[in-house]
Amino acid sequence: MNTDYRISLIKELRDQQVRFAPRGKRYEQANRAESLLSELDPTKNYPYDYLFFRVTDVRPDATGYRLIKGDDAVHDLRLFVEDITDSMNLRVEEASEPVHTVEDLSKMFNVSTKTISRWRDQGLVSRRFLSDGRKRVGFLHSSVDRFVSQNKKRVQRGERFSQITDVEKDDIIDRARRIAATGANLSEVARTVGSEVNRSTETIRYTIKNFDRQYPKMAVFPDQRELLSQEDRRAMYQQHHRGVSTVILAKRYGRTRTSIVRLLNEERAARVMELVLDYIPNVEFEDESLTEQILGEMPVPSEAPRKVRAPSGLPTYLASLYDVPLLNREQEYHLFRKMNFLKHTASKLRSELDVKAPLIALMDRIENLYEQSVAVKNKIVQSNLRLVVSIAKKHVDPSDDFFGLISDGNMSLIRACEKFDYSRGNKFSTYASWAIMKNFARTIPDEFRHRDRFRTSSEEVFTAHQDQRADNFTAEIDQASRTAQIQKILHTLDQREQQIIVRRFGLDHRFEPLTLKEVGEELGVTKERIRQLETRALDKLRLAAAKAHIDIPE
């Protein structure tokens, strides 16, 4: 139903009466407007002054002589009645005569609710009433009688088209099912069957959809979302993410392109709901005047930071960490506030996301905000990676795995970055140092206990070796080669095993690595089952790597 006013003067009159007219006066004006509606001829023109006087019983101020088309006047006055009664919060019990709902009229005239909506556009006056605590559209009995008396042929035609016998319905459904089997969509089926049985396309469409609603197991067009397993959906999404078009996916899965797009959007929405958007709240986030400042560029230090020489004996790629300048207190505060504000905004938008009917623009905004927050977090982490090296050097001895300590320390640094409350005024390095050392204190004794099981003499210990690898460029080439090999052998796993390996070891750069318990919650199985599937998947990968002559660490 069209709810936009065509004449700005009538819309202004509506606004004026809603704001300033007493409740009793508004009720009187709604009745006067409806009475006027029954007298207007849509083919004639009427002066606005005349319409104004008939509705308000007041002569208007000088507005100029303006003629209003009768069709436009009928359309806008009907909206005027509904809007005026909507502003009154009128209860059904307060009406001076019986009130009918849309469903009541549908049963009374044996037509669909869509037909009632079309009748409203064609002159059936509706009002808004409070019923059971919420606003509902209602029709005064006198309004219905007036419309029926003025539109007898239209009402009779609607009744005639809706009176389909059970035999006719069965025939329509049989024809529709045969045509749908050829791959035709609902619109094509409705047009074809309508021409065959001499019924309108809308009647056929309504009959099919009503049948599918009542008998979903025998539906002509079953809900395709229910037919696809969760693994199929994920596989479809991954294929599309790798560049497979929706047209090819539609042929591959025997679906229409529209349904493929809907399923892809739903799967994308599910992934958006999985994004880790935990943040440290702050009252500043609710102050819109600070948004531009929060999202602005990082402040430039008044003095150039002093360059620190890397400790001797470090491998090239660890020494390069010392080329990244440290953050001063103002820069650190700015980045932490920005990161948490981006997550706060993304989380707020995500609460508005409907996973069954997701808006693409909304998902774009959420993902963009999340990626920005990750970029800010990475900047903070990169500026503090040397802290991990410094602490690891103090804890390492010849029997320790130095690079293992750094790896553990980096994970502690990332977690500390996400949990740090910048508003308390502390330096992040203090908080992160405590978190890293606490992790080392827990993991190093475990390493000693593990090695003691295999030690045969006091002289047989593991020793650290100097890194003999080539420069950074060669390391990057090797890394790219390893990535391609990993992607190749991953395809030897089934869909669920791939997901477990990717989520457990962080092979998808958009997500952090997950624990066994977290992966189990995502897939709806126990932690122990995930452990079993992971072991089986790793065994498969080792076999695939051996066949492909790929060296893997034991």
Q: Is the pLDDT of residue 163 over 70?
A: no
So what's the pLDDT on residue 46?
A: 92
197-230 pLDDT, tens per residue? Answer: 888 787 888 888 888 888 877 888 776 555 667 7
Q: Is the pLDDT of residue 275 over 70?
A: yes
Q: Is the pLDDT of residue 450 over 60?
A: no
Copy the structure tokens of residue 43: 């083919």
Q: What is the CATH number of domain 478-547?
A: 1.10.10.10
Under the banding of pLDDT at 50, 70 and 90, the label for residue 356 is confident
So what's the pLDDT on residue 294?
A: 92
Q: What length does the chain have? A: 554
Under the banding of pLDDT at 50, 70 and 90, the label for residue 399 is low
| Mean pLDDT of the region 237-253 | 84
- Helix ranges restricted to H, 396-526: 402-419, 428-452, 472-490, 495-505, 516-523
Under the banding of pLDDT at 50, 70 and 90, the label for residue 457 is very low
Between residues 227 and 330, which one has the greater pLDDT? 330
Is-same-fold flag (288-300+311-452; 478-547)?
no
- What kind of fold does domain 288-300+311-452 have according to CATH? Four Helix Bundle (Hemerythrin (Met), subunit A) (1.20.120)
- The closest alpha carbon to 406, from 486, 472, 321, 479, belongs to 321
So what's the pLDDT on residue 210?
A: 84
| Mean pLDDT of the region 54-79 | 84
Cα separation, 539 vs 492, whole angstroms: 11
So what's the pLDDT on residue 81?
A: 92
| Mean pLDDT of the region 142-150 | 88
Q: Are 126 and 34 in contact (CB under 8 A)?
A: no
So what's the pLDDT on residue 76?
A: 92
Q: For the chain, give the percent of residues with pLDDT over 70.
A: 83
So what's the pLDDT on residue 64?
A: 59
Cα separation, 66 vs 50, whole angstroms: 10
So what's the pLDDT on residue 366?
A: 95
| Mean pLDDT of the region 383-390 | 86
| Mean pLDDT of the region 143-150 | 88
- The closest alpha carbon to 506, from 535, 539, 483, 528, belongs to 483
Under the banding of pLDDT at 50, 70 and 90, the label for residue 460 is very low
What residue segments make up the domains of the chain, in order of their start? 8-158, 164-222, 225-274, 288-300+311-452, 478-547
Between residues 318 and 117, which one has the greater pLDDT? 117
So what's the pLDDT on residue 54?
A: 92
- The closest alpha carbon to 436, from 400, 390, 478, 378, belongs to 390
Across all residues in the chain, what is the average pLDDT? 81
- Least reliable range by pLDDT among 347-361, 462-476, 528-542: 462-476
77-114 pLDDT, tens per residue? Answer: 999 999 999 999 888 888 888 999 888 888 888 777 77
Q: Is the pLDDT of residue 400 over 70?
A: no
Phi, psi (deg, nearest 5) at residue 130: -85, 125
Under the banding of pLDDT at 50, 70 and 90, the label for residue 467 is very low
Cα separation, 282 vs 267, whole angstroms: 32
So what's the pLDDT on residue 102?
A: 86
Under the banding of pLDDT at 50, 70 and 90, the label for residue 183 is low
Copy the structure tokens of residue 392: 């690891």
So what's the pLDDT on residue 376?
A: 93
Q: Which DSSP helix (H) or strand (E) runs through 135? A: strand 134-140
- The closest alpha carbon to 38, from 154, 144, 158, 153, belongs to 144
Match 């126990």 to its residue by tokens.
526
- Least reliable range by pLDDT among 123-137, 349-363, 441-455, 520-534: 441-455
246-274 pLDDT, tens per residue? Answer: 888 877 776 777 778 888 998 999 999 99
